[in-house]
Amino acid sequence: MSATPILKHPGLRAGLLIAALLALSPSPWPADLADAFRRAEAASAAGQFAAAADALNMAAARLPDDAETLERAGAADLAAGRFESAVRRLQRAGDLGGWTPARRVRLGDAYQGLGDPAAATEQWEQALNELPDNDAILSRLAASYEAAGRYPDAIAMLTRRVQAGAIDPALIYRLALLTTATAPAEASGWLTQAASLSSEFAPQAERLRRAIAAAQAQEDEAYLYGRAGYELIQMQEWALAGLALTQAVALNPAYADAHAYLGLALDMQGQDGAASYRRAVELAPESPLTQFLFGLHYRRLGQAAQALPYLEAAQKLDPANPAIAAEMGGAYAALNDLPQAEHWFSEAVRLAPRDAQFWLLLARFHLDYDWKVPELGLPAARQAVGLDAESAAAHDTLGFALVLTGDLLNGEESLKRALQLDPELASAYYHLGRLYLQQDKTAEARAALEQAVTLDPDGPYGNLALRALASLPP
């Protein structure tokens, strides 16, 4: 059977895949088997992939040594997300009927779904040996190599896609980012091409290109990698940033800022950046950046007491920085030192009186801790809305402040305005649920709280909504 449709289109709908397999009946089947194939085809057409898999698995059980039927069943299992069964059937199909690139691609996809990327990569590599220019296989391998940290191999696969004629803005942009992290001096051409192909990627690509050009003018290779890493951090490309920053500190072990940003890149990948932060502070104790980032490290870990010495050091070195003041406010709030928290949140808005975000942080502090809401929390929320009338978060905060101070009518209006601006703002649904509870509108409260849980199932507002729902009558 032809492998072309599957390999040429990696995003092909699972239903079309099954339908193509079902069309390959070479000979008449017993009535029950023919019925199984018909049921599978109908289920697939309706998007009911589990039902299609059930029907084909029955056929495979009747014909355990028929490679084609096993492949059909395995492909159906793959479409239904039954990866363990898919691996078993596709492996058996290949052993019985021989291996084609299409079978190896499907088996690789099944292994990937099963959470075994190494086995998936092995199958795709074998498929590529037979179809060296196949774009779908090259694409799979590029993603797999990047996820495994095999960046030169990922770049090689993406480059082969381009050489084979693929013109995809996302492909060029990804190749540009990988080159920026591994060899920034060679990235300019790819970045220029990415910017020219897509307005979606143009701003980031052009900013990155300019940053690299400016760094190259310094004729300092460590700085070039450090600047590339910094820009990748701004784009939240944490793994690629870590790669570039690791090279920066290898070239210049005394590069304090690169050590600090490397710590951040490691933290954001779920690793421990403490050693990198510590080295940064040792190298540059008078740098507010190194002190601040180390303090943020402990804040993310929920260790406010450990964060404060570094935040205090950063604040003394850069007393006009409102972000440092706000982080100190957050640390003191976490320690339940509300007067100190109020002082530092207020200091942040004093330093940046036209920045709505700092007014919002001040307002949320007062609301979260139910601390001076009428005197300070409500006015701060009004300021936030006044400075940024299109901020859903600001309207949400103002709405809840009004609810807490007894103005339910205007509170509801502000909360609904927040949801107009951001229909997926879980906190606004939670606050609206709280409002309806005060008004004894149980049905409306339940609906709002359930929506908060749906939007934030594992987050703070989802958990708060669950607690509120538990208090409602059945």
| Domain boundaries along the sequence of the chain | 1-132, 167-284, 290-353
Q: What is the mean pLDDT of residues 122-143?
A: 96
pTM of the model: 0.84
Superfamily of domain 167-284: Tetratricopeptide repeat domain (1.25.40.10)
The pLDDT tens digits of the residues spanning 19-28 come to 444 444 444 4
Q: Residue 332: is its pLDDT beyond 50?
A: yes
Distance of CA 417 to the CA centre of its chain: 28
Burial of residue 11, with CB atoms counted within 10 A of its CB: 0-12 exposed, 13-18 middle, 19 or more buried: exposed
The pLDDT tens digits of the residues spanning 214-235 come to 999 999 999 999 999 999 999 9
Same fold across 167-284 and 290-353: yes
pLDDT at position 6: 44
Q: What is the sign, positive or negative, of the torsion defined by CA atoms of 363, 378, 434, 332?
A: positive
- In degrees, to the nearest 5, what angle opens at C-alpha 234 toward C-alphas 229 and 237? 65
H/E element, 68? helix 67-79
With beta carbons less than 8 A apart as the criterion, state whether 344 and 329 touch.
yes
Q: What is the mean pLDDT of residues 95-124?
A: 95
Burial of residue 338, with CB atoms counted within 10 A of its CB: 0-12 exposed, 13-18 middle, 19 or more buried: middle
**Closest to 284 in 3D by CA, of 260, 320, 252:** 260
What does pLDDT average to over the chain?
91
Cα distance between residue 157 and residue 268, in whole Å: 27
Q: 3 falls in which pLDDT band (50, 70, 90)?
A: very low
Cα distance between residue 418 and residue 269, in whole Å: 32
Q: What is the mean pLDDT of residues 138-166?
A: 96
Q: Residue 448: is its pLDDT beyond 50?
A: yes
DSSP state at residue 133: T
Cα distance between residue 359 and residue 366, in whole Å: 11
The pLDDT tens digits of the residues spanning 361-388 come to 999 999 999 999 999 999 999 999 999 9
CATH of 290-353, one of 1.25.40.10, 1.10.150.120, 2.10.109.10, 3.30.9.90: 1.25.40.10
With beta carbons less than 8 A apart as the criterion, state whether 452 and 465 touch.
yes
Q: 32 falls in which pLDDT band (50, 70, 90)?
A: low
With beta carbons less than 8 A apart as the criterion, state whether 276 and 289 touch.
no
Superfamily of domain 1-132: Tetratricopeptide repeat domain (1.25.40.10)
Phi, psi of 47 (to 5 degrees): 75, 15
Cβ neighbors of 288 (< 8 A, separation 6 or more) are 313, 314, 315, 317, 318, 321, 324
